[in-house]
A and B are shown apart, each in its own frame.
Chain A
Amino acid sequence: MILDPILYLIAYPPLWQVLILGFLGSLAVAMVAIWFERKAAARVQRRIGPYWASPALGGFLNIIADMVRYVLQQLIIPGTVDRLTFYVAPIAAFIVSILPVIFIPLSSRPEFWPVASMDYSLLIALALSTLPPLLIIAAGWSSNNKFAVIGSMRESYVITAYELVAVVSILSASAATLTFNLVHIVDAQQPFKWLIILNPIAFLAAVLAVLMSTSAFPFEIPESEHEVVAGPYTEYSGALYAFNMGGAYVRRFVYALIIALVFLGGWAPYVPGPGPITGYVIPSIIVVLKALIIVLFISFLRAVYGRYRLDQALGAAWRLAIPLAIVGFGWSLLLAYIGVFH
């Protein structure tokens, strides 16, 4: 068939996973998430939200118009900033945010992995996903603006709150399945032994950590606009601001992908078959849809929650989330001891 080479080209893992899913996919997910965030908040708060740009689509074109505006807007660089860091930090943060996608398998067939071996992929993906906050702090620091510096400081405080929770709660999957290999973790959950059912405590802790790390409500502390304008992004405008804002949504999406694999069973109950369509495209779409559900849930929280103070967030993390994560880890050890997955 003539289609086969084209299919294989599209399903070539670096192209499909990094460019199509990683870049365009996260862009689309970010747009849907932003639209849903505004629309859901409006519905709950008795408003209508985006509407007039396209009444039939619920105002979705409004988001595209916003993006076009960001890209075409004048890029204002204040005279007092540290120029190199100011330029590089948001772009680097955006790229580093996408990087973990390379180590996230979207199929159990080895020919469709972007890297040769998926051993330790969970560890590497987690490690890479903890990098962007440092670049955000650098962006705020280089802005040389009091709001940006306060925002960066808040970000660095919040890191101390969620980092441990994220790592411990997500690694509890490794404790239960006795492997760092994401493919094995997903295969162990086939067909419906999903960790969200078997270990909801760790799932809750992981979602809390994602909320804090991507500054979603109720932990939107670093860039809370009522207090510090836009936090680390105060001095940014135009395309660089779009990188900053998009980076947060990309990180949310990547975390959601990891959680979808680890807790929601990845492509389970589907079993990837041979060929690019059944072996790669369908399972990856299943995973992305599961991740999208998590992203939309996180967006929905904006409608119902207020914002915690910094000390309240740190208190909630150390008093509630870290014990939760540790209990979830212990629960996973118990699961492994009983031998649920083997």
Chain B
Amino acid sequence: MPPKISLKKLDRRGGLFEGVKSNIHTLALGVKYLVDPQRSTLLYPKEYIEHRPGYRGFIIFIKDKCISCAACARICPSAAMKMVRVTEIDPKHPDKPRQKQYPVINYQRCIFCGFCVDVCPTEALYHVPFHDIVYENLADMFLSLEMFQVEPQRPATSEGLPVVYEVDEIKGLVKRRKS
């Protein structure tokens, strides 16, 4: 014998009175927000989000700190980080050029996981706290060793104002201008 399905009876709330009350409540709530809106849209070029410290944005490389251990390239889960071989001339021994390896990054692949920054033993990599940059073509996203060391300019900072999002217990997500 198949098991008997027992449907849970939902108590239908109220009758006409409840219906009228809830409709009036709906309208009142709508009018309240219409008069006093709490918007959370970011007016992007006019405002930009000021991220907290620790935000994993674009990655900058400091060549002088790097010991060419390749830990960053090995840990990268999406193979965005690659080691390139360059020939360097040490000022102390100008007659003996050296082969060294340094990492370069491909932002077509990077998922901003931050593993490379965490794993680097000498803190030769660090994040900048934003990732709103536009590249005009795909090839530009494969940074050269020189580009990898330049901290990029955030485009919104020139005309926008910084804002932060905060969680308010009653209002939910609220946007605040930073003074």
Contact = CB atoms under 8 A, between A and B. Distances in A.
B26 interface: yes
A304 interface: yes
Which among A40, A46, A300 has the greatest number of chain B C-beta atoms within 10 A? Answer: A46
B41 interface: yes
A305 B30 CA distance: 9
B43 A48 contact: yes
Interface in B6-38: 26-27, 29-30, 33-34, 37-38
Question: Which of the four size classes fits the interface of chain B?
Answer: 10 to 19
Contact of A48 (B26, B33, B34, B41): B41
B39 interface: yes
Given A48-B43, A51-B43, A43 B37 contact: yes
A300 B40 CA distance: 20
B148 to A, nearest CB: 35
Contact of A46 (B26, B30, B41): B41
Interface string B34-54: 100111110100000000000
The majority secondary structure among interface residues of chain A is helix
A47 interface: yes
Contact of B34 (A44, A47, A51, A305): A44
Given A48-B43, A51-B43, A304 B37 contact: no
A42 B40 CA distance: 11
Contacts of B26: 304-305
Contact of A304 (B30, B38, B39): B30
A43 B40 CA distance: 10
Contacts, number: 32
Question: Which of the four size classes fits the interface of chain A?
Answer: 10 to 19
B152 to A, nearest CB: 26
B33 A43 contact: yes
Given A40-B34, A300-B34, A303-B34, A46 B27 contact: no
B43 A300 contact: no
Contact of B29 (A42, A47, A300, A304): A304
Interface in A216-241: none
Interface string A31-56: 00000000010111011100100000
13 contacts: A43-B34, A43-B39, A44-B30, A46-B37, A46-B40, A48-B39, A48-B43, A300-B30, A300-B34, A303-B30, A303-B33, A304-B26, A304-B29
Given A46-B39, A304-B30, 4 more contacts: A46-B33, A47-B39, A47-B41, A303-B30
Interface of B: 26-27, 29-30, 33-34, 37-41, 43
Interface of A: 40, 42-44, 46-48, 51, 300, 303-305
Q: Which 9 A-B pairs have the closest CB atoms?
A: A304-B30, A43-B37, A44-B33, A48-B41, A46-B40, A304-B26, A47-B41, A44-B30, A46-B39
